[in-house]
Every structure is written in C-alpha cells, then in structure tokens.
C-alpha cells in the first residue's frame, strides 16, 4: 500500500503540516511528488485541493482511519506543483522542515493589509525636469524647486520616486503644489512602489552590439542545443568586461522568441542601476526586478505578475530563482562564485544546485557566468556536467593592469613598520601628483583572527585540516589556538616554530585604522572610507561611491564592498594591504576566496584609458592563490587548489556537512553533540570531526556545538542528516535542542 503526504492548497493558507492519505491502486502511476490532488478534508470531508509532497509505504496512523485521495487533477502540472516538488527536494538535500522549504519557494500571501505608501515619481526625463527646475527657480517658486530637487537628488530618487510623506514633512511641499505639478504632468503620484522602467531615458544610448566571434560561438552553440531539444548547464568563464552580460541578453532573446521565460540571478551587491538598465533597455517592460528592499507583499505581487504572464524576465538575487513562470526556459546565474548564493538560514540551500535541479525539472537551460568560477563549477565542466565556454578578451579597449606582489617580510627587514610598503607609498605619491585616484582594499571577508610570524610569514595551522587555527583569549592573553573544524588545540607559541623569531602574534587590520594612517602619511589627500559602519544609512553606500566617482576624494579605503561592479575611470592604483587576511580566514575555502577577491580587486584598476597598477601586499608572496591572481591565471590556480582539496577530502571532490546543535543549556548541548557523534559512527565511509564549540560558542542565549562530517558521496551525507533528524524525533528529552545542517559551505 502507498501513502502520500499531502499539503493542502496554499491559497487556503493552512500549510502548517502535511496530512497522510492513501493512494488508491488506480492512481498510483500518476501520484507523483508535486501532483495536484483532490482530497476529503476535515470532519465534513470537504473536497479540497492539495499537493503531494512525499510518498511512502509506511502509514503514520491507523490505516483503517486513513482517508484516500479522491482524484488527481489533470490540468497540466501547475507552476506551484513544480515549486512544491522543488521544496521537497530542498528539504531532502539541505535539511529543513517542509514548512521552511515551502516558505522559501513561495512567498506567503500576507494576511494583514499593508499600509499604502504613496510615492511621487517624475514623469519626464531628467533633462526636462532640470529645465523646469530652472524655470521655477527664476520665478521664485521655491516649493516646486525643493520638490524637483528631491527627485533629482540621486539616481535612486529619480528611479524609485520619493515618499509623499517625505515631500510634505521634510521638503515642506504642500499637497496643492504637488497636485499642481501632477496636473502639468511633470510628476505622478502613485500608491504603489515599483521600479520605473528607465527605458525612456536609455533607449537612445543602448544600441545593439555586434557580438565578437567568441560571443557568437556561445550563442550559436546554445541555439543548436535548444533546437535539438537539449537542455544543458553551461559555464561562461570570462574576465570582467569580456562581454558576458551581452551574451546573456542575446540568449534571453532567443528564449523569449520561443515563448519561454527567463530568470537572471545577480548578487545583491552587483545589482546596480548600470547592470539592470541594460536589460530594461533591451526588453522594456517584459522585465521585472526584485531586491531585498521589497516587502513580503511586494514580492508576492511580483510573483503574481510572473505567474499571470505579465512579465517574461525576472532579475534579482537568490530568491528570484523561485519565480513561478509557467514556461521557464532559461536560468542565468551571474557571478556564480559569490557566497551570497548560499542561504544562511534554513534551508541552507545553494542557488547553484537548486538552479540545476529546477532546470532539470522544467527542462530549462542553466547558464553560469564568472570571471573566477567556484571550484565546484569548474570541476563539473571537467566531469562533463556543465559545458564550458571561455571569453578571454576584454570586449572594450581597457589594458590589463600591471600587478606587483610586495613581500611584507622584506619591509620588516628594512625596518619599515608601516602598513604601506615602500613600493605602495611611491606609487601612491605618484598617483596623487597626477591627480589620479587610489583604492585601498582590506579583504576581511570571513576573517576570524589567526597567529602568524611577521619575520617569515609562517601561520599556525591545524595539522590535519590545514586551516589556520583561531586564537582563544583568556584574561586578555592568548593562551590557546584551536581548529574550527576538528577542535585540535595547540598552546600559543612564544617564538615562531619555523624561524624562532619573537615577532609572532595575532594579525589584524581595520578600515578605520587604515584611514587614520593614510591621513597621517598623506595629509593633503582627501580620503573616503567605506565599510559596514559608514554605509549603515539607506543611501550611504551610493553616496560614498558617487562622491568618489565625482572625484571629491583621492583615496577610497574599504572592505570587499568596494571591489564590486563599479567602474571608476580615474582609478589607476589599487592596493590590497594584506592579502593574508582572507588567506588565513580559517576555512577550507580561504585560498579560493583570496584568489577571487584579488582578481576582482585587480580588475578595478585602469578601467579607463590609463594604465592601471595593482599592488598585493602579503607575508606569503609565494602562495599560489596570490601568484595566480597576479597573473590572471585561473586554470593554474584551479589545478593547485583542486589537489589540496583532494588530499584533505574537501569539496568539490568530497562533501562536507556541518551539523550545528543548539540549546539553552550547556550541559545538554554537550551531551547531545556526543550522542550525535555516536549515531554517526554507525555509518561507514564517512569522516567525523568534532564535536567542538562553534566559532561563536554562544549566540542569543543558545550554546552552540558543531560536528563536521565528510563523505565522498553527497547522498551519504543526506543519509547522515536523516539519521540525526530521526534521532531527534525519537529522543523526547532533547526536545528543547535544535539542529541545523549546512552542506558544503
Ligand atoms: P561582463 O558581463 O563580462 O563584465 P559586459 O557584457 O558588461 O561584460 O561587457 C563589457 C563592456 O564591453 C560593456 O561596456 C559592453 O557594452 C561592451 N561590449 C560587450 N560586448 C561587446 C561587443 N561585442 N562589441 C562592443 N562592445 C561590447
Ligand atoms: Zn617565523
Ligand atoms: Zn583540524
């Protein structure tokens, strides 16, 4: 006998839990996961619709009382059912409740009515608005001028309008003035916040480009596959500026011509006006855009538009992967290597894997693009799961930058204790003299502290995991170093174990600190700083970049935020102050992240006609991630890094699962993590590391312990996860503890 787990149709809003139904013999063939079924529900056996999200042969309740599915709806499989089966796949592969998984793939309709926010939008192009502003200024209509200034204040204000309340309260513009301008058709007041189609302003500038032979080759191969009815996964490996976006646009056109739809994933940080407007310019109002500032309700509306067929292209970060298009033909994922594609709350899915799965379910093609592909993606090209394309040349005329690696150990020997090497100082001086601009970059991503020798560059690492060990302080002194994966410990050495130098200690560098030092060393230079502190305001990020673009500063100091997507013509020098910060981040991905960050940082220099210079400062000048980034040699980096991953059983050659156990009670979490380990020991062919305290051992009142599990087969990790979930279900006394799973982060 077969039983189906059925989730009641979401429009009836009761998606709390699945209910078990019997599948009658005659329906067993059609009863697949995702199928839309009619079931008798509740006491009155009211007929309701639902979706099958799981099948099994084991009844949960008394079989004689289990009701049967009445029939299976045949009106084609709806977008929802595809998404439900995707949710089920996510739950199975990443570990989460079905509820969490469903919420991930379908934004829930909000019960509460959202407050209506009226906004004011410009109705004419910016130039015309400017002319009107001058006119009003001449006539001393200062309220009108204030309103137009508000709209012209920034690109964002012009594009998204300004809040009506803001105009009245802050700009002190009366409703009569607003109505007057509305009647003149200079502005429009609308209750809905939406992205205006900027095509009006851009249509003139965006001409269709003639693809170069490399670009054309990709488009032709893609078309041939599509014609033959083959849907594949592709990776376009091409440096920044090699014309990937141009190819994406062309591919979308081909897909739309076949009456299908496309999803374009772009990391939030790269979702700039520049990028998005290129899609608008070509496809006009067929495009919709989603971003994290939209509310749940707005997200829901966007999805509804997609479902109704009002739009054909959805652009946005991770979550737009679940846009309910009925004829999805293409998923594009730009900057495929970005960590932001991996969800950081359960289910902790990776959009790359889910994109492939969704493509497979719907018979859609998937195109990944990156200048620095993840090891996963490139490895899959080698194993034939993705097809590889390359774009080696920059499409524009920019020259590749000149890159220099500076050995910081030499600086110490020459008694230079500053964070700026002699080479960097010289270049900076030169640059400032020529009135060119400089970016100084501190790559702190994932940085957790490490201990190294300033004399020889030695970093204290875990002997079995090869990652840098994290210092633990006690009464203001570091006494212990710990491995974040396996928990191995070493005492803090007093001299360098490699060269005997006493210059051994923790290493750190903050943006504030660097800003101060720049000001001291170059007092005449105008300095801007960009990090989490200075960009906290809503428009802080844009404001700083705009200032820098307008040459209101000579030097921009910042974290990885500054290396993304912005072109500054006048920047001719990029300095990475300590490549070691990301290189010793304590994760097996540290070398990969370092390569990516350095390659990206280097790509910022010399975007205009002038020659760009790049300096990487480091204590490990011989490290392959640094050398290869300097030479823009991805393949050589990939080969060396893959060898390391193979040796230590890390992805993509193996798989790693992090199990995080949390409890309010420290004793309990200690006991639980020990019990979990015992459960896992029942498996063969897996490696168990830990349990150890998580890097953040206590968070929001919960004690946290982690276990890492490595296995060659992903499915084995899934089975381990299932086993632990079953353990939690059957051990009542741990009901106050929680487990979360994180695969291959
Ligand atoms: P990527 O997405 O790889 O960074 P883009 O598609 O943004 O590259 O292209 C970089 C620049 O080169 C853009 O300004 C784009 O307009 C231009 N470009 C791209 N392809 C061509 C082409 N075939 N002919 C002329 N210019 C091109
Ligand atoms: Zn040393
Ligand atoms: Zn270790």
9-23, 391-405, 614-628, 692-706, range with greatest mean pLDDT: 614-628
Least confident of 180-189, 421-430, 506-515, 564-573: 564-573
pLDDT at residue 206 in the model: 56
Q: What is the mean pLDDT of residues 653-670?
A: 96
Instruction: Quote the CA–CA distance of 101 and 348 in Å, as a whole number.
Output: 10
Instruction: Quote the CA–CA distance of 355 and 333 in Å, as a whole number.
Output: 8
pLDDT greater than 80 at residue 109: no
Percent of the chain with pLDDT over 70: 91
Cβ(395) to ligand 1 under 6 A?
yes
Percent of the chain with pLDDT over 90: 53
pLDDT at residue 301 in the model: 77
* Burial class of 176 by CB neighbour count within 10 A (0 to 12, 13 to 18, 19+): exposed
Cβ(508) to ligand 1 under 6 A?
no
Cβ(240) to ligand 1 under 6 A?
yes
Q: Give the pLDDT band (50/70/90) at residue 375.
A: very high
Ligand nearest to the Cα of 501, by number = 2
Instruction: Quote the CA–CA distance of 418 and 521 in Å, as a whole number.
Output: 10
Position in ligand 1 atom list of the atom nearest CA 242? 3
Position in ligand 1 atom list of the atom nearest CA 239? 3
Ligand 1 geometric centre to CA of 213 (Å): 13
Ligand 2 geometric centre to CA of 520 (Å): 30
pLDDT at residue 10 in the model: 55
Instruction: Quote the CA–CA distance of 275 and 270 in Å, as a whole number.
Output: 8
List the residue whose alpha carbon is closest to atom 11 of ligand 1.
241
pLDDT greater than 90 at residue 742: yes
pLDDT greater than 80 at residue 575: yes
Q: What is the mean pLDDT of residues 522-545?
A: 79
Q: Give the pLDDT band (50/70/90) at residue 112.
A: very low
Six token digits for residue 92: 């199975």
- The model's pTM: 0.81
Q: Is the dihedral of CA 77, 79, 82, 85 positive or negative?
A: negative
Least confident of 262-271, 369-378, 416-425, 713-722: 262-271
Query: Residue 688 forms beta bridges with which residues?
Result: 709
Q: What is the pLDDT of residues 625-652, one digit of tens each?
A: 999 999 989 999 999 999 999 999 999 9
Q: What is the mean pLDDT of residues 510-522?
A: 90
Cβ(374) to ligand 1 under 6 A?
no
Decide which of 442 and 237 is more confident: 237
Q: How far is CA 16 from the centre of its chain?
A: 29
Instruction: Quote the CA–CA distance of 664 and 701 in Å, as a whole number.
Output: 6
* Ramachandran assignment for 337, one of left (phi > 0), alpha (psi -120 to 50 degrees), beta (any other): alpha
Q: What is the mean pLDDT of residues 702-722?
A: 95
Q: What is the mean pLDDT of residues 334-356?
A: 94
Question: Rounded to the nearest 5 degrees, what angle is found at the Cα of 679, between the Cα atoms of 673 and 681?
Answer: 105
- Beta-sheet strand order (sheet of 738-743): 686-699, 702-711, 655-663, 738-743
pLDDT at residue 196 in the model: 42
Six token digits for residue 428: 């900076």
Ligand nearest to the Cα of 463, by number = 3
pLDDT at residue 661 in the model: 96
Q: Which of 202, 210, 241 to mutate to test the pocket of ligand 1 (most atoms within 8 A of CB)?
A: 241
Cβ(244) to ligand 1 under 6 A?
yes
pLDDT greater than 90 at residue 700: no
Cβ(219) to ligand 1 under 6 A?
no
Six token digits for residue 479: 């006494």
Cβ(233) to ligand 1 under 6 A?
no
pLDDT greater than 50 at residue 133: yes
Q: What is the pLDDT of residues 174-227, one digit of tens each?
A: 999 999 999 998 998 876 544 444 334 444 455 678 899 999 999 999 999 999
Q: Report the relative pairing of strands 402-407 and 613-618 from DSSP bridges.
A: parallel
pLDDT at residue 241 in the model: 81
pLDDT at residue 199 in the model: 37
Six token digits for residue 153: 């204040």
Q: Which of 243, 267, 278 to mutate to test the pocket of ligand 1 (most atoms within 8 A of CB)?
A: 243
pLDDT at residue 204 in the model: 41
Instruction: Quote the CA–CA distance of 158 and 153 in Å, as a whole number.
Output: 7
pLDDT at residue 9 in the model: 62
Ligand 3 geometric centre to CA of 420 (Å): 33
Q: Give the pLDDT band (50/70/90) at residue 14.
A: very low
Decide which of 268 and 575 is more confident: 575
Position in ligand 1 atom list of the atom nearest CA 246? 6
pLDDT greater than 60 at residue 115: no
Ligand nearest to the Cα of 500, by number = 2
Q: What is the mean pLDDT of residues 686-691?
A: 94
pLDDT at residue 116 in the model: 61
Position in ligand 1 atom list of the atom nearest CA 240? 4
Query: Residue 614 forms beta bridges with which residues?
Result: 403, 574
Q: What is the mean pLDDT of residues 658-678?
A: 96
Six token digits for residue 146: 């204030």
Cβ(246) to ligand 1 under 6 A?
yes
């Amino acid at each position: 006998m077969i039983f189906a787990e059925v989730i009641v149709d979401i429009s009836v809003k009761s998606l709390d839990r699945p209910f078990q139904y019997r599948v009658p013999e005659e329906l067993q063939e059609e009863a697949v996961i995702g199928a839309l079924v009619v079931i008798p529900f509740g006491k009155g056996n009211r007929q309701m619709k639902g979706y099958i999200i799981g099948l099994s042969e084991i009844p949960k309740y008394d079989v004689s009382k289990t009701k049967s599915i009445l029939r299976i709806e045949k009106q084609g499989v709806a977008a929802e059912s595809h998404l439900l089966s995707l949710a089920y796949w996510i739950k199975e592969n990443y570990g989460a409740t079905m509820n969490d998984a469903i919420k991930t793939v379908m934004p829930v309709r909000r019960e509460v009515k959202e407050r209506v926010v009226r906004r004011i939008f410009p109705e004419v192009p910016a130039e015309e608005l400017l002319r009107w502003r001058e006119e009003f200024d001449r006539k001393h209509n200062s309220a009108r001028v204030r309103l137009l200034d508000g709209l012209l204040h920034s690109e964002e204000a012009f594009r998204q309008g300004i809040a009506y309340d803001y105009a009245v309260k802050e700009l002190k513009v009366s409703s009569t003035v607003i109505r007057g301008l509305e009647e003149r058709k200079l502005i429009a007041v609308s209750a809905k916040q939406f992205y205006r189609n900027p095509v009006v302003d851009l249509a003139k500038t965006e001409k269709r480009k003639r693809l170069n032979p490399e670009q054309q080759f990709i488009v032709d191969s893609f078309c041939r596959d599509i014609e033959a009815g083959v849907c594949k996964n592709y990776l376009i490996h091409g440096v920044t500026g090699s014309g990937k976006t141009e190819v994406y646009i062309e591919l979308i056109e081909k897909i739309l011509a076949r009456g299908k739809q496309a999803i374009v994933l772009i990391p939030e940080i790269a979702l700039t006006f520049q990028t998005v407007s290129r899609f608008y310019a070509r496809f006009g109002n067929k495009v919709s855009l989603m971003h994290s500032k939209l509310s749940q309700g707005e997200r829901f509306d966007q999805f509804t538009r997609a479902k109704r067929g009002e739009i054909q292209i959805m652009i946005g970060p991770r979550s737009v992967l679940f846009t309910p298009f009925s004829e999805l033909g293409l998923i594009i994922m730009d900057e495929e290597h970005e960590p932001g594609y991996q969800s950081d709350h359960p289910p902790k899915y990776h959009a790359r894997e889910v994109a492939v799965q969704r493509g497979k379910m719907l018979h859609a093609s998937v195109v990944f693009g990156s200048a620095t592909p993840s090891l996963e993606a490139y490895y899959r090209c080698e194993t034939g799961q993705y097809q590889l394309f390359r774009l080696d040349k920059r499409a524009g005329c920019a020259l590749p930058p000149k890159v220099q690696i500076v050995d910081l150990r030499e600086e110490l020997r020459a008694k230079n204790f500053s964070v700026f090497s002699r080479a960097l100082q010289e270049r900076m001086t030169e640059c400032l003299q020529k009135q060119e601009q400089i970016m100084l970059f501190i790559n702190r991503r994932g940085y957790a502290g490490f201990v190294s020798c300033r004399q020889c560059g030695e970093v204290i690492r875990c002997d079995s995991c090869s990652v840098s060990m994290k210092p633990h302080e006690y009464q203001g002194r570091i006494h212990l170093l710990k491995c974040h994966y396996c928990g191995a410990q070493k005492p803090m050495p007093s001299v360098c174990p490699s060269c005997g130098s006493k210059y051994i200690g923790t290493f750190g560098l903050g943006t504030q600190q660097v800003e101060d030092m720049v000001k001291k060393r170059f007092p005449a230079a105008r300095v801007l700083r960009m990090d989490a502190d200075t960009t906290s305001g809503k428009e802080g990020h844009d404001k700083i970049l705009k200032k820098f673009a307008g040459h209101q500063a000579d030097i921009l100091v910042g974290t990885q935020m500054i290396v993304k997507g912005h072109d500054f013509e006048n920047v001719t020098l990029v300095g990475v102050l300590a490549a070691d910060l990301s290189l010793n981040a304590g994760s097996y991905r540290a070398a990969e992240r370092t390569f990516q960050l350095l390659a990206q940082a280097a790509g910022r220099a010399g975007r205009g006609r002038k020659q760009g210079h790049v300096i990487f400062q480091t204590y490990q000048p011989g490290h392959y991630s640094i050398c290869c980034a300097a030479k823009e040699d991805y393949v050589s980096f990939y080969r060396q890094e893959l060898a390391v991953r193979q040796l230590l059983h890390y992805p993509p050659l193996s798989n790693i699962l992090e199990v995080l156990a949390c409890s309010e009670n420290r004793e309990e979490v200690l006991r639980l993590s020990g019990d979990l380990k015992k459960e896992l020991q029942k498996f063969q062919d897996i490696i168990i590391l830990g349990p150890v305290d998580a890097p953040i051992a206590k968070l929001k009142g919960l004690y946290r312990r982690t276990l890492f599990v490595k296995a060659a087969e992903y499915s084995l990790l899934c089975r381990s996860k299932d086993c632990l979930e079953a353990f939690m279900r059957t051990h009542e006394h741990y009901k106050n503890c929680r487990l979360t799973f994180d695969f291959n982060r």
